[in-house]
Amino acid sequence: MIASKEAPPGVDSTRTATIQRRYNRQASTYDLREALMELMFSRWRRRLWGLVPPGSRVLEVGVGTGKNLRWYPPDVSVTAIDFSPKMLARGVRRARQRQIPVELALMDAQAIACAGGSFDVAVATCVFCSVPDPVLGLEEVRRVLRPGGRLLLLEHVRSGLPVLGRCMDWLNPVSLWLNGVNINRNTVSNVERAGFRLLEVDDLFLDIVKLIVAEKIAEG
């Protein structure tokens, strides 16, 4: 395991520590609690990982308990990070049990301890709803991708349907307090704000669960 780099000035360390604590608190019950949802999510995970080209250097952001491990293509090298020690410990255990070759690291997505351009692809599932500053996190992901590198996300977002969207806004403080999850983020626009070019946005469940494919535009 490798450690996180020093948090840059832009990181709100109090907010970050709060969300970290919420994930540590729920780590032991996370898989059980999500089991029903997983019936739908596992096929979306499979589809997302199917988009990773062979031979890629992959960064998985927010690996958590390791639900994506089984979908890693056999011929890629993966570095997987998470900022919650307790979620990550479960991911480590799962990777060992299944003998999945992956480098797991305790690291904040808002301060990734990797050189710029280290990865061809970055993947995250249900993570940018929780990253305290999602645009900062996405900017970091963009930095560590090579020019032309791909960002592959499976994320739930705020609905654009007026009544549903407003309900999500009302319920958001409860969700955030209970489990550190924002249910009303606009992750598609956050991806653009972080400087990516959107290639594909596919609605998987209503307009709430989305598969997002974006690209780091080559500079100059």
Ligand X SMILES: C[S@@+](CC[C@H](N)C(=O)[O-])C[C@H]1O[C@@H](n2cnc3c(N)ncnc32)[C@H](O)[C@@H]1O
> What residue ranges bind ligand X (CB under 6 A)?
19, 23, 62-64, 67, 81-84, 87, 108-110, 125-127, 130-131, 137
Nearer to ligand X, 16 or 56 (CB): 16
**Rounded least distance, CB 200 to ligand X, Å:** 19
**Rounded least distance, CB 7 to ligand X, Å:** 10
- Integer angstrom CA distances of residue 174 from 161, 162, 170, 197: 20, 20, 8, 33
Nearer to ligand X, 154 or 218 (CB): 154
Nearer to ligand X, 68 or 217 (CB): 68
Enumerate the β-bridge partners of residue 197: 215
Give the span between the Cα atoms of 184 and 76, in whole angstroms. Answer: 33
Nearer to ligand X, 9 or 220 (CB): 9
**Rounded least distance, CB 162 to ligand X, Å:** 26
Kind and range of the H or E run holding 82: strand 77-82
Give the span between the Cα atoms of 124 and 135, in whole angstroms. Answer: 14
**Rounded least distance, CB 128 to ligand X, Å:** 8
- Which one, of 158, 162, 120, 161, lies nearest residue 141 by Cα? 120
